[in-house]
A and B are shown apart, each in its own frame.
Chain A
Amino acid sequence: MRAPTSPARAPERLTRWLVTLPPTLFLVVFFLVPAVIMAAASFRQPGEFGGLAPLAQGGLGLEAYRFVFEDVIYAWILAKSFAVAGLTTALCLLLAYPLALLIARSPRRRRNLLVLLVILPFASNLLIRVYAWIIILGPLNLLYSPVAVIAGMVYVHLPFMILPLYTNLEKHDPALLEAAQDLGAGTWTRFRRVTLPLSLPGILSGSALVFIPVLGMFAIPELLGGTGDLLIGNLIKEQFLDNRDWPLGATLSLLLTVAVLAVAAITAGFARRRKEAP
């Protein structure tokens, strides 16, 4: 970072490279390259003792893909993962909206405290939050059921919905609601015609923030669900750690990546359409 002390014309270019290069290189090596290797691994053959077979021996092929697309169980589990993610998102929205609205309409100096109160439980460990539900649902005989999985998913991801919603709602101009009131709109009409449409961007980004991690979650179905409640994340974990069929695991990971990208693209598309609309 040491630069020559010649004043006036600072070597801006050199500084730029010295600052930009280290994080870029690190992330290329430990994020981008592994992601590309993952994609490549889906075309390889499983090794005799797990991992991948040597390239010379196994060669490349579409076996893993054929396997995934021929067995209907994979499509079924992917569909189930989407259903769980959708239901979780809807329930989070229902729970989060009133709270976000309340925080946004509180006096300014109280807002940060109320937001902190949302974040604090969220900062505790994922496993602890899941464990809490093991304790609660166990005596109720609800453990190892789809209900338990949904409860855990909603609980763990709720703050992802509250925070973007609050950030959006906080920016609304109160004058709009007053104008609506002056024009004779009741509480419900004001909400439906003013607040709700204006908050759609917040709803969208909150939904994406809940939907995407739920889609890949394996710990919650594993600890709270029964054998029938496994999702795509559990399949991936199984292939990498238990069955040691890495090409199949890589193919499933790629499938999950495509699903995530599709969700992100749809959300971004909606957001753009709304912005362009008059």
Chain B
Amino acid sequence: MRRIPWLWAAALAAYAFLYLPLAVVVLFSFNDSALNASWVGFTTAWYGKLLSDPAMLQAAGNSLFIAAVSSTAATVLGTMAGISMQRWRPRFLPFLVLTPVAMPEILLGVSLLLFFRQVLDLTLGLFSILIAHITFSIGFVAIIVRARLAGMDESIFEAARDLGASPWRGFVRVTLPLILPAIAAGFLMSFTLSIDDFVITFFVAGVGVTTLPLQIYSMIKVAVTPEVNAVSSLLMALTLTLIALAARFAPETLKGSR
């Protein structure tokens, strides 16, 4: 390593490229000026303004509710899918689980829009957003759970069976405790994906319901204000915490998905 300092230089440049833009966003959220141009002085006024903005609070509430419900459902279904894919190797399920993860998001968004409006004749809103978020989160949970199972010795499940454990008992007493970190990581992952999602939500949200990313989008389209910096910084802090937690629960999350 010491012999190739240019590698360090190039890598440092890449890290700087990853972090500096976000640092700028956070920095200007504390700037005592309505312009994101030059540093004037320190203030937390933009955060105060945020907390007294009813539209923003409503969007934050919606985002948290949607994330909590959709990630819970996606964790249950994704865990089932992960177990099934590892244990019984179904032919069709991996295609169903992995394709939504690999496709450009816009395709899932517009096809669900078409399905909800044209086939189900549904008014877009909380329900359509929930379904969409569950659909794209299942794959991530399944990948994480499956990776965890793949690294385990299958003989312990056989041992449980040989000792007379029913499938359910074997699951609760043997499988579940072993894959719990992966399930927790999958939950945190889908919570983050849900709270962060813009593209798919944009198509299935309709006019009534706003989430934080949708709110940020409509603000950015109008003007660049420090309020956007403040809400961005808060959202960033939240997702960073969630990802760091997920990485703690299941380090393999870092290598596997996406």
Contacts and interface: CB of A to CB of B under 8 A. Distances in A.
8 contacts: A1-B171, A12-B167, A20-B93, A38-B110, A128-B236, A167-B255, A253-B110, A256-B107
The bracket for how many chain A residues form the interface is 35 or more
Interface of B: 1, 3-4, 6-8, 10-11, 13-15, 17-19, 21-22, 24-25, 28, 36-37, 77-78, 80-81, 83-84, 87-88, 90, 92-93, 96-97, 99-100, 102-108, 110-115, 117-119, 131-132, 134-135, 138, 142, 161, 164-171, 192, 196, 198-199, 203, 213, 216-217, 220-221, 224, 228-229, 232, 235-236, 239-240, 242-244, 247, 251, 254-255, 258
Classify the interface of chain A: helix, strand, loop or mixed.
helix
B166 A126 contact: no
B5 to A, nearest CB: 11
Given A5-B169, A24-B90, A127-B232, 20 more contacts: A19-B80, A20-B88, A22-B77, A23-B96, A27-B96, A27-B138, A31-B108, A31-B135, A34-B111, A102-B7, A116-B254, A119-B243, A126-B196, A128-B236, A134-B224, A136-B24, A138-B224, A163-B254, A167-B255, A257-B103
Contacts of A233: 104, 106
A116 B96 contact: no
A184 to B, nearest CB: 16
A26 B134 contact: yes
Interface in A29-60: 30-35, 37-38, 41, 51-52
A84 interface: no
B37 A125 contact: no
Interface of A: 1-8, 10-12, 15-16, 19-20, 22-24, 26-28, 30-35, 37-38, 41, 51-52, 95-96, 98-99, 101-103, 105-106, 112, 115-136, 138-139, 155, 158-160, 162-163, 166-167, 187, 209, 212-213, 215-219, 223, 233, 236-237, 240-241, 246, 249-250, 253, 256-257, 260, 264
Contacts, number: 273
B39 to A, nearest CB: 13
Given A99-B10, A260-B104, A23 B142 contact: yes
Given A38-B111, A119-B243, A128-B235, A216 B106 contact: yes
B198 A124 contact: no
Contacts of A2: 168
Contacts of A223: 220-221
B258 A30 contact: no
Q: Which 6 A-B pairs have the closest CB atoms?
A: A216-B104, A98-B10, A132-B21, A7-B164, A34-B115, A23-B81
